[in-house]
């Protein structure tokens, strides 16, 4: 098979490990820290996880390895959406496993958690693994979104593990996937299966983080990829000088991606969903905020600009959230069939007008027809509006155009406004991982095996001090239950890992807030360029602006 020169070079890249993991397996000891408790709802979480709750945080350090010697047969699963670096988690896990004992075995369960239930797997060897080192994507075994959450599934998983002599399962995923890992770990412990479960923190959205998990893997590469594209668009906008570019980026529940891209590129506008919710901003207020920038720049002869829009921002607008809730009720049960049977949009509009409250209909009426129709596309499995299908970048550019038309009639604006639209999502999920993600993910996988070797169960692989060079990173583990709280899901109380939203009093947002008024009016664009893999460390190994500001 032929490879591109970069692909061949990346196969040969040797990821950097934290200092204490460089001593060789036999010289890695474990230091136990304090007992832990969940971030909230301690009594409820403890009751649900009696065998895995309250365990100690641990750190690996140089010293004699005191783990019992036994053959390890480990299974690994990729769960949820792709994130750059997933292959390296598996490579690090494989290398640590084989460095300990050549007889150790690594199973890769195909297409996510369903592979474990269906006993669909590959057994890795050197040749197989070497084809995927330092590469993007999840194609090594594929991923999936099947949830492991029922006792029937757990019993099947236990049988599959027993069949193959599997001693541990590593689940590589986001908050939901690692919640499932915690529940599976508790089941295995309660039923004395002898199988451990270890999680690894993955998501490009950046919302799986806390005081222990400084960054989920994939966020660095994805935001660098998006920032390169945004910088390219900024350069084009500044060259053509006739378009406003509205760019939607990934991040339904949190705006970490949008904020990081803004810090990297300094666009004229960047909406932060958490701020929209905090200030209870209406669609009209948001449109006025963007229109103000357009008008002020036009007054300086600059009829161009760039606005970054988080994917899920409309869900944070109170009036829009109320509208969504009413639409979900309007189409509940057989009403959906009645609505879909109507022949024309005019008939459907009359149906909607009759069913919505006056307040929600007022909001609905100001939406462009295309957006109105998107709200009535196919429901999700729970019968709800699929908000991610709403083209919010087109929504806000249309609302801004209406605002500017009114201002033009009033004589306060005489510029030109031509909007172009982009959505950056899939472009960043499978990119060649940055050096940071290559190193971080390899360390997470290597570290996961150390947790297995020392007998830990229901733990998340943890690598911290990430704003420093890799040699200064600290490896260890924390109980997954430490991150959990109780949330209402589909009418039931469920234990889940608490999502991390953008902190409006945090240093990254405060830096953005202090500069955005200037960026809104002036052309202050930064052009990050492509991810660099070879050259000076200050160019190739830099972390995100978010992490750098948080650790100042």
Give which of 433, 425, 423 is closest to 137, Cα–Cα: 433
Kindly state the tokens that stand for 200: 């690894």
What order do you get walking across the sheet with 305-310 strand by strand? Answer: 269-270, 305-310, 244-249, 419-424
Cβ(179)–Cβ(455) below 8 Å: no
Beta-carbon count within 10 A of 181 CB? 28
Residue 276: how many CB atoms within 10 A of its CB?
24
**Residue among 31, 161, 6, 13 at smallest CA distance from 92:** 13
Query: Token pair for residue 44?
Result: 């409820």
| 419/52 Cα distance (integer angstroms) | 53
* CA angle, 517 then 522 then 525, to 5°: 100
Classify strands 269-270 and 474-479 as parallel, antiparallel or unpaired: unpaired
CA distances from 490 to 382, 383, 402, 487, 549 (A): 8, 11, 38, 10, 37
Closest by CA to 456, choosing from 75, 197, 173, 199, is 197
The residues near 396 (Cβ < 8 Å, ≥ 6 apart) are 246, 271, 286, 287, 290, 307, 309
Comparing C-alpha atoms, which of 308, 299, 237, 303 is closest to residue 268? 308
Can 205 be counted among the known catalytic residues? yes
DSSP SS3 for 309: strand
For tokens 């733990």, the residue is 459
Select which of 95, 175, 176, 205 is catalytic.
Answer: 205
For the residues of 109-141, what is the DSSP string, one character each? ETTTHHHHHHT-EEE--HHHHHTSTT--SSTTT
Catalytic positions are 205
């Amino acid at each position: 098979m032929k490879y591109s020169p970069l692909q061949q070079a990346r196969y040969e890249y040797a990821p950097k490990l934290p200092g204490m993991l460089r001593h060789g397996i036999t010289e890695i000891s474990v230091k136990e820290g304090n007992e832990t408790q969940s971030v909230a709802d301690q009594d409820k979480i403890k009751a649900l996880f009696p065998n895995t709750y309250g365990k100690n945080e641990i750190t690996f350090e140089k010293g004699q390895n005191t783990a019992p010697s036994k053959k390890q047969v480990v299974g690994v699963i990729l769960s949820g959406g792709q994130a750059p670096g997933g292959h390296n988690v598996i490579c690090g896990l494989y290398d640590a496993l084989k460095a300990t004992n050549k007889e150790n075995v690594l199973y890769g369960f195909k297409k996510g958690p369903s592979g474990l239930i269906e006993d669909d797997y590959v057994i890795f060897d050197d040749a197989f693994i070497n084809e995927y080192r330092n590469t993007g994507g999840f194609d090594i075994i594929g991923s999936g979104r099947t949830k492991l959450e029922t006792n029937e599934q757990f019993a099947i998983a236990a049988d599959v593990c027993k069949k193959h002599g599997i001693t541990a399962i590593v689940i590589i995923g986001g908050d939901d996937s690692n919640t499932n890992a915690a529940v599976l770990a508790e089941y295995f412990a309660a039923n004395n299966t002898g199988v451990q479960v270890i999680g690894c923190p993955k998501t490009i959205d950046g919302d799986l983080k806390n005081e222990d998990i400084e960054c989920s893997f994939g966020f660095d590469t994805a935001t660098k990829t998006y920032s390169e594209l945004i910088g390219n668009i900024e350069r084009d906008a500044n060259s053509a000088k006739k378009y406003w570019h509205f760019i939607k980026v990934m991040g339904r529940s949190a705006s970490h991606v949008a904020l990081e891209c803004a810090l990297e590129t300094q666009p004229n506008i960047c909406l932060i969903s958490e701020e929209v919710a905090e200030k209870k901003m209406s669609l009209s207020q948001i449109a006025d905020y963007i229109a103000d920038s357009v008008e002020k720049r036009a007054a300086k002869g600059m009829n161009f600009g760039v606005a970054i829009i988080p994917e899920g921002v409309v869900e944070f607008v109170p009036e829009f959230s109320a509208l969504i809730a009413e639409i979900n009720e309007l189409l509940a049960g057989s009403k959906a069939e009645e609505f879909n049977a109507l022949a024309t949009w005019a008939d459907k509009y009359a149906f909607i007008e009759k069913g919505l409250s006056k307040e929600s209909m007022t909001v609905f009426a100001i939406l462009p027809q295309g957006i109105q129709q998107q709200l009535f596309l196919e429901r999700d499995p729970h019968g709800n509006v699929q908000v991610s299908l709403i083209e919010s970048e087109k929504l806000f550019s249309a609302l801004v155009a209406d605002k500017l038309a009114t201002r033009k009639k009033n004589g306060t604006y005489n510029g030109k406004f031509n909007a172009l639209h982009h959505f950056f999502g899939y472009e960043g999920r499978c990119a060649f991982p940055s050096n940071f993600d290559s190193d971080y993910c390899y360390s997470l996988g290597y570290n996961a095996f150390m947790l297995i070797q020392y007998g830990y169960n229901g733990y998340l692989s943890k690598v911290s001090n990430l704003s420093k060079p890799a040699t200064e990173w600290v490896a260890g583990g924390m109980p997954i239950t430490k991150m959990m709280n109780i949330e209402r899901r589909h009418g039931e109380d469920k234990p889940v890992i608490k999502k991390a939203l953008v902190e409006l009093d945090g240093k990254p947002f405060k830096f953005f807030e202090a500069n955005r008024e200037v960026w809104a009016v002036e052309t202050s664009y930064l052009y990050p360029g492509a991810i660099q893999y070879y050259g000076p460390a200050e160019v190739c190994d830099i972390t995100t602006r978010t992490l750098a500001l948080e650790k100042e």
